[in-house]
Amino acid sequence: MIKFLLKGILRDRSRSLFPFLTVTIGVMLTVFLYCYIKGAESNFIESSARFSTGHVKIMSRAYAAEADQIPNDLAYVGVESLLLELRQEFPDMVWTPRIRFGGLLDIPDEAGETRSQGTVAGLAVDLFGSDSPERLIINIEKAVVSGHLPRKQGEILISADLATTLDVRPGDTATLIGSTMHGSMAITNFTVAGTIRFGVTAMDRGAVLADIHDIQEALDMEDAAGEILGFYRGFIYKDKDAEDMASRFNARHHGQGESDEFLPVMVTLKNQSGLADLLAMMGMFSSVVVLIFVAAMSIVLWNAGLMGSLRRYGEIGVRLAMGEDKGHLYRSLIAESMLIAVFGTIAGTTVGVAIAYYIQVHGIDISSFMKSSSLMVTDVLRAQVTPVSFVIGFLPGLGATFIGTSISGIGIYRRKTSTLMKELE
């Protein structure tokens, strides 16, 4: 039966070409958009984890309640002992302390007077520790535009855009004006070692990268840090494992004194800055894309089936007149359309994955749309080809074809056997 249907499809292309192209284009768009959404989601998770949230983050309870304001006066004290405890209890994780800070960067002239000033958002990480993972996590080597990485204490990196605005070059002196952990004014001189560009607009507008020990000294934060970030080895976020880890950590530490607002609390990536809602929305978009194409393709293929039934009106009549059962004829039309759908789905998936892979490798520059963005998203957006990409096209490809053909083929049951000979005449 299948061989018979296949011969009919190949010999009469007029009955198969339009449905084939419809399925191919619909599946191609479905696969490509799915890969694009997965790429955007992966991009957002990876960028947020590297520069802001980690896979999990530990803060004091008071700091966590106002984390968006970067309240370093509520930072956790006793970082070294907590890091030792974390590395023993969770050895499969990489732990690193960070301090986020803000302030005014003052650039003096040769006479020591202010030449230019600008507000900065600073990030202090462990740049010189022998076992520090920070250089790999935030890809500092690849981010350097001019100058060099800090080689000694007292050297900082600033974003290339900020350096252009303030007319700063490597080797210049920069004065950071901010406030200490205890609320007093902090004024510290640094040497600009180089300029950087991470490719994340939110970071590149006015970022300063410094060693955490320099900032601890400058802001009077001895053995203190605003955040301790944890990363899975291999840098693959595991939401369920992260939730279990946070539950165990919080249950143990919060039992020591419920009234102490400076006890440490662990939060997962998805529970920070509304990321859970944003990622859920991205996942919903994937489902909506599939449903839209299933509905649109079903309507198109329904109409194609109706047109085909009109064109094949005589053929269907002859088959019924020869005694073919209506149910058998109806099922054969569905089987014929499903064969076309399989070929169309394979072709559409192949083209869609190929386009997505090209964008995964080369990316799309979206920097012009991110100039005022505060999202941790890289300026080059890439698609992501996953194992699901190779099968997700079968849902709209086969589903829409089945629905469209099933509806259009119902007309077979409306044909009256008593009028067939008259129709054929």
pLDDT above 60 for 1? no
AA identity, residue 408: S
Q: Give the per-residue pLDDT at 215.
A: 92
pLDDT above 70 for 346? yes
pLDDT above 70 for 315? no
pLDDT above 70 for 6? no
Q: Give the per-residue pLDDT at 374.
A: 47
Tell me if 219 sits within 8 A of 174, measured CB to CB: no
In this predicted model, what pLDDT tens digit does every residue of 256-278 receive, in sequence order?
Answer: 555 678 889 999 888 877 777 77
Average pLDDT taken over every residue of the chain: 80
State phi, psi for 387 to the nearest 5 degrees.
Answer: -55, -35
All structural domains of the chain with their residue ranges: 2-47+277-424, 56-236
Q: Give the per-residue pLDDT at 212.
A: 92
CA-closest candidate to residue 403, choices 313, 304, 289: 304
User: What is the full DSSP assignment across 136-197?
Assistant: HHTTHHHHEEEE----STTEEEEEHHHHHHHT--TT-EEEEEEE-TTSSEEEEEEEEEEEE-
| Residue predicted with more confidence, 305 or 113 | 113
Between CA 167 and CA 182 the distance in angstroms is 32
Q: Give the per-residue pLDDT at 287.
A: 75
| Residue predicted with more confidence, 339 or 355 | 355
Cα→Cα distances 203→147, 268, 375, Å: 19, 22, 9
Q: Is 305 exposed, middle or buried (0-12, 13-18, 19+ CB in 10 A)?
A: buried
Any idea which of 137-146, 147-156, 261-270, 317-326 has the lowest mean pLDDT? Answer: 317-326
In this predicted model, what pLDDT tens digit does every residue of 36-89 receive, in sequence order?
Answer: 888 878 877 888 888 888 899 999 988 988 888 888 889 999 999 999 999 998
Whole-prediction pTM value? 0.73
Over residues 300-311, the mean pLDDT reads 61
pLDDT above 60 for 146? yes
Q: What's the count of helices (H) and strands (E) in the chain, helices before strands?
A: 15, 14
Between CA 206 and CA 372 the distance in angstroms is 12
In this predicted model, what pLDDT tens digit does every residue of 408-419 receive, in sequence order?
Answer: 777 666 666 655
| Residue predicted with more confidence, 366 or 150 | 150
pLDDT above 90 for 228? yes
AA identity, residue 397: G
Between CA 213 and CA 225 the distance in angstroms is 10
* Cα-Cα-Cα-Cα dihedral sign, residues 129, 132, 135, 138: negative
Q: Give the per-residue pLDDT at 118.
A: 87
Q: Give the per-residue pLDDT at 25.
A: 85
Q: Give the per-residue pLDDT at 3.
A: 60
Q: pLDDT confidence of 354, banded at 50, 70, 90? A: very high
